[in-house]
Amino acid sequence: MGFRIFITRDFEHMSRTGAGIVEADIREKQAVKDRYVLGLATGNSPTGLYKHLAGAFNDGRIDASRVRTFNLDEYVGLPGENAQQRCLHCESYSYFMIQEFFGLLSRKFAETNVPWGTLIEQEELIAALREHPEQYELQGSDQGKAVVIKDGADGLLGWIRREVLDAYERKIKASGGIDLHIVGVGGRGHVAFHESGIPFEGSRVLLVRLDDSTVGNAVRDGHFPSLEESPRYAVSMGAELVYEAPTIVLLANGTRKTGPVAESVFGDITCEVPISYGRRYVAEGGNLVYVLDEAAAAGILARRADAEAGGCEIIDLRGEP
């Protein structure tokens, strides 16, 4: 238990190390209980881990048929005439998971779940927000905001609160809760679409109005052809819910992650850097594991003594095969 930081050489080494940690946890828990619940992230960082983990399942070292999964987030506002088309859009996180993980398995998971953002028609959502400002409030100190739908909201907003947001958390609870959550980190230290500045308190399953930089990055990275076609909203687990899992494995690679990773270790615990919630999580008994490549770890390595004095265990694997 506590806070362990594994330093690896590069993306492949990070992926293999992370997959080994997850595989070991699944094997340990499957030895004593029937079901294992795995939390999953999208983005580039976990893709290598997923390929190694799929190999462990396909080799029979762990049993996919006894695993249920819950993903962190999904867009609202993907192109498409209906929920099915939006779900099958090549930039949906459902599509991503099939391409990068689920489709690699020779024996499928017992159940997979991705937040139900594709059920929401974005234009209808925007109209409901415009027409019923009394039914919600925006929370957050930056452009990215949580759209907090109030108790007693009716119509579309009430339905989203009951059947999309609260229902996803109810399903996680009904499964017994997530055993281990794999997460990445955004360039501003956000986890999933818990954008920088969204409060920690009450951050369960969120409806999020995305930060302009998040929308712009999606276009610049080639995911969407224009700002007009890039989704403006998302459904996402918030930090408070994510960090209820007994074990969190955070992956980070590349220089873009150096700053937020270091800030999460040395800075204040603040919703301006959502992954800093991990330090509160560790103080309350959680098992936090960072698996970093050398570039993402540079800020920590520069202050290694400070990190260790603060309770972090540094495991430097760069010299190992």
Distance separating alpha carbons of residues 286 and 217, to the nearest angstrom: 32
φ and ψ at 167, to 5 degrees?
-65, -35
Q: 11 is written with which tokens? A: 């993306």
Over residues 68-81, the pLDDT tens digits come to: 999 999 999 999 99
| Kind of pairing between the strands at 180-183 and 36-40 | parallel
Over residues 244-275, the pLDDT tens digits come to: 999 999 999 999 999 999 999 999 999 999 99
The pLDDT value given to residue 187: 86
Q: Quick check: 205 pLDDT over 90? A: yes
Higher pLDDT, 269 or 228: 269
The pLDDT value given to residue 24: 98
Q: Which helix (H) or strand (E) holds 28?
A: helix 11-30
The pLDDT value given to residue 228: 86
Over residues 84-98, the pLDDT tens digits come to: 999 999 999 999 999
Q: 215 is written with which tokens? A: 């929308």
Sign of the C-alpha dihedral computed for residues 197, 39, 22 and 15 taken in this order: negative
Residue keyed to tokens 């080994």: 20
Distance separating alpha carbons of residues 106 and 56, to the nearest angstrom: 11
Q: Quick check: 218 pLDDT over 90? A: no
Closest C-alpha among 93, 55, 71 to residue 242 = 71
Higher pLDDT, 321 or 143: 143
Distance separating alpha carbons of residues 207 and 209, to the nearest angstrom: 7
Q: Quick check: 199 pLDDT over 90? A: yes
Longest distance between any two alpha carbons in the chain, whole Å? 60
Distance separating alpha carbons of residues 196 and 147, to the nearest angstrom: 14
The angle formed by the CA atoms of residues 287, 293 and 294, to the nearest 5 degrees, is 120
Contact 193, 238 (CB under 8 A): no
- For 266, residues 6+ apart whose C-beta sits below 8 A from its C-beta are 299, 303, 306, 307, 310
Burial classification of residue 83, based on how many CB atoms lie within 10 Å of its CB (0-12 exposed, 13-18 middle, 19 or more buried): middle
Q: What domains can you pick out in the chain, each with its CATH number?
A: 2-244+254-289 (3.40.50.1360)
pTM over 0.95? The answer is: yes
Percent helix, percent strand, percent coil in the chain, to nearest 5 = 40, 20, 35
Over residues 34-61, the pLDDT tens digits come to: 999 999 999 999 999 999 999 999 999 9
166: helix, strand or coil: helix
DSSP one-letter code for 160: I
Q: Quick check: 1 pLDDT over 80? A: no
Distance separating alpha carbons of residues 305 and 270, to the nearest angstrom: 23
The rounded percent of the chain whose pLDDT value lies above 70 is 100
Sign of the C-alpha dihedral computed for residues 259, 262, 265 and 266 taken in this order: negative
Closest C-alpha among 190, 175, 151 to residue 274 = 190
Q: 125 is written with which tokens? A: 């959502």
Over residues 151-198, the pLDDT tens digits come to: 999 999 999 999 999 999 999 999 999 999 999 998 889 999 999 999
Closest C-alpha among 211, 209, 223, 192 to residue 91 = 223
Closest C-alpha among 249, 302, 298, 292 to residue 7 = 292
